[in-house]
Amino acid sequence: MREFIVQHKTQYSYNTSVMVSHQSAHLQPISNSHQTCRSFDLHIHPEPSTISQHTDFFGNPTHIFSIEKAHSDLEVTALSEVQVFNPEIPNPTKSVKNQEVLEYVNNMDNMESPNAIQFTFPSEWTPNNSEIYEIAKKFYSPRSPFLQSTLNLCDYIQKNFEFTSDATDVNTSVFEFLKMKRGVCQDFTHFMLSVIRSIGLPAQYVSGYLLTNPPNGTPRLLGADASHAYIAIFLPDYGWINLDPTNNMICEDKHIVVGYGRDYNDVSVLSGTVTGGMEQKLNIEVTVSPKEDWNRGNH
């Protein structure tokens, strides 16, 4: 088990006043069998007129707030303390076979099928076409183990696609990413989900964070990290297991989950509408620190 402090600061600056702002925030890490959010503080400036918390359709903590007075800046800072447990990972070569997973999720008599089957369909950001389907067929033969097949796909993606921070933006489609073969973690994740779902297998979009280590001898810089995106696949008799296609790995105790959904739209950090504002500038600063480093001021 590892303990982390996560600070996520989002700042909007508008060139004209915003009169009303309605926002939805996915910033509080989820609590489940793999992690526990021990504390969460959300600071919003200007102070919202109303704020409420609820659990969304996918089980993610969600905050809804409104600011109903003129403002030219919006700052949202979330501070979380999270415990992450190292999960027991089944043997990939002996995991449930692809055909058996398909049969399980499509049998509504199975207790977990109604939840899993909703993550087998294309979504706005995880479409598919014949090219994606042909890629899927290379990895997901009916008698191959689901987890091993997905690890093989992770390896293929890392070897054939380049991580480049400035190649894409939030509106880049899976098809554009497939053509360019470079992008960021969100692109890697949406593409992998499209491949897996193209043959009807269950996979979720995961929004969260990843602990990164600074070079030896240098302090951890405040605000130098970023949000991260990866996937989760469903194994009958085990549950959901998280995998990181960008880094070609099974997620263990360095990944922190904020929420699960069909794609980025379901778990975007901040989304909403404003009246006024015209042009805006966005600045995001994220710090992911081991708790002991944070307490020592080593962040």
Give the residue-averaged pLDDT of 233-244: 95
What would the pLDDT profile of 54-102 be if each residue is shown by its tens digit? 999 999 999 999 999 999 999 999 999 999 999 999 999 999 999 999 9
CATH architecture of 2-84+268-295: Sandwich (2.60)
The CATH number for 92-266, chosen from 3.60.9.10, 3.10.620.30, 3.40.50.2000, 3.40.50.300, is 3.10.620.30
Give the span between the Cα atoms of 130 and 38, in whole angstroms.
Answer: 45
- Beta strand pairing call for 255-261 and 270-276: unpaired
**Does position 166 have pLDDT exceeding 80, yes or no?**
yes
Give the span between the Cα atoms of 46 and 103, in whole angstroms.
Answer: 51
Give the span between the Cα atoms of 205 and 189, in whole angstroms.
Answer: 7
**Does position 291 have pLDDT exceeding 90, yes or no?**
yes
What would the pLDDT profile of 178-197 be if each residue is shown by its tens digit? 999 999 999 999 999 999 99
The overall pTM is greater than 0.85:
yes
Give the span between the Cα atoms of 282 and 268, in whole angstroms.
Answer: 15
CA 116, 118, 122, 123 dihedral sign is negative
Domain boundaries, the chain: 2-84+268-295, 92-266
Tell me the backbone φ, ψ of residue 4, rounded to 5 degrees.
-130, 155
**pLDDT band, very low/low/confident/very high, at 132 (cuts 50, 70, 90):** very high
Give the residue-averaged pLDDT of 218-224: 56
pLDDT for position 102: 97
